[in-house]
Amino acid sequence: MAGPRLSRLADAMASLKRQWRGRSGVPNGVLLVSAGGLGDTVLLAHVVRRFMGLAADGEPVTMLLRADAAGMAFVLPPQARVETVDFSRLRKDIRYRLEVMDRLFEANYRLVASTDYLRHPDLDEALIRACRAAEAVAMVPRPWPKYAARLRRNAALYDRLFDSGPAVRDKVLRWWDFADWLTGESVPPAPLRLAAGRLAPAARLAAPTVLIQPFSAVRAKQSPVELYRRVIEALPEGHQVRITGAAADLERNPEFKGLLAPPAVVFDAATFEELVPTLKAARLVITVDTALMHLAASVGAPTLALASAAFVGEIVPYAPEIAPANLHVLYRTMPCEGCLGSCVHPLEDGMYRCVAELDAAAVVARIGALLGAEAGP
């Protein structure tokens, strides 16, 4: 297993070798680097065509994604080739690291554009360095005290850097302004919606269906099982409930297995792409502020997000210019909101304080109102 110092030493030695290696042909192609997760991939899909416009006529565009974000690649334009990199292996496996970097170097890209505001000097920036592209562009990175000096030095990797604004800012609007700056075109943003024809059509469901996604990779963002029990009990008669997630989510959260006791409640372990038809047909999607929230909102599903306050101002609620009418967000406003996950309070029953203080009665009331609105006159 390689540590950061060994990785950097291997990078330096490989970089010296590449200086003396020739590459055949003229630099060609655009590489768009996105080191975000599943949710970021959905959000980026609303802006990515603008970045793809940086390519010349007929020039290929490649999207570099983290391997754990590849499950959402189906939302990206089919014209873009997708390459994935396992960032966990990139940290630990020197042979894999050198293979990936050699492949990027040999690709001989004309332009590399980082779409990431948060960048890591040993991961995505190391990949960008390995490309040795004819041109590289990025945003000035988010402040990160641990890596401040190295991020400053890495500014030399880029031919142009864009100041995208304060550290806490709506993620999509940050990308939008970056695209304006790169393309020289000022285009007003619009509410987020994926083109209907690109994805599978709505399913035909046997009963009115509510999808619930209670799980998060950040467990402190999860509301307690009792809240969801109250939600399920309050749903109108005849509704079917699908609890969505990976099988491993239930194993990590065994207390949620009790929600599956009623015959009208089932567990749905479908992939994100497989879920799209059900999302489009659902009466309501109830979810933590995670990738499924972005996907459901983007395909037009009536969506209620039970959010933490940690990413207020960056992710939830969306900025008014881009917020679709089908997305509704409930969160407990707090003076410390927008902490980006660096919570200053002790956890309460394993939850962020802002999550623990969500009012279950208010959640049930909002669900009732949304189902009533969806039912129509």
Query: For residue range 309-360, what is the model confidence (pLDDT) as tens digits?
Result: 999 999 999 999 999 999 999 999 999 999 988 999 999 999 999 999 999 9
State the residue range of the domain holding 96: 15-183
Identify the H or E element spanning 250.
Answer: helix 247-252
Does the residue 150 lie in any domain? yes
pLDDT band at 377 (very low <50, low <70, confident <90, very high): very low
283 token code pair: 């009466």
Does the residue 10 lie in any domain? no
**Where does a domain end: 125, 154, 183?**
183
**pLDDT reading at 82 higher than 90:** yes
pLDDT band at 1 (very low <50, low <70, confident <90, very high): low
Tell me the β-bridge partners of 188: none
Asked if residue 66 lies in contact with residue 72, where contact means CB atoms within 8 angstroms, the answer is no
Question: Rounded distance, CA 268 to CA 243, Å?
Answer: 6
**pLDDT reading at 121 higher than 50:** yes
**pLDDT reading at 374 higher than 90:** no
**What's the predicted TM-score (pTM) here?**
0.94
Question: Rounded distance, CA 185 to CA 286, Å?
Answer: 37
Lowest mean pLDDT among 19-33, 101-115, 177-191, 269-283: 19-33
Does the residue 267 lie in any domain? yes
Distance in angstroms between the alpha carbons of the first and the last residue of the chain: 63
Task: Report the number of distinct structural domains present in the chain.
Answer: 2
**Where does a domain end: 156, 183, 210?**
183
Does the residue 189 lie in any domain? no
Residue 88 identity (one-letter amino acid): S
Which letter does DSSP use for residue 31 in this model?
E
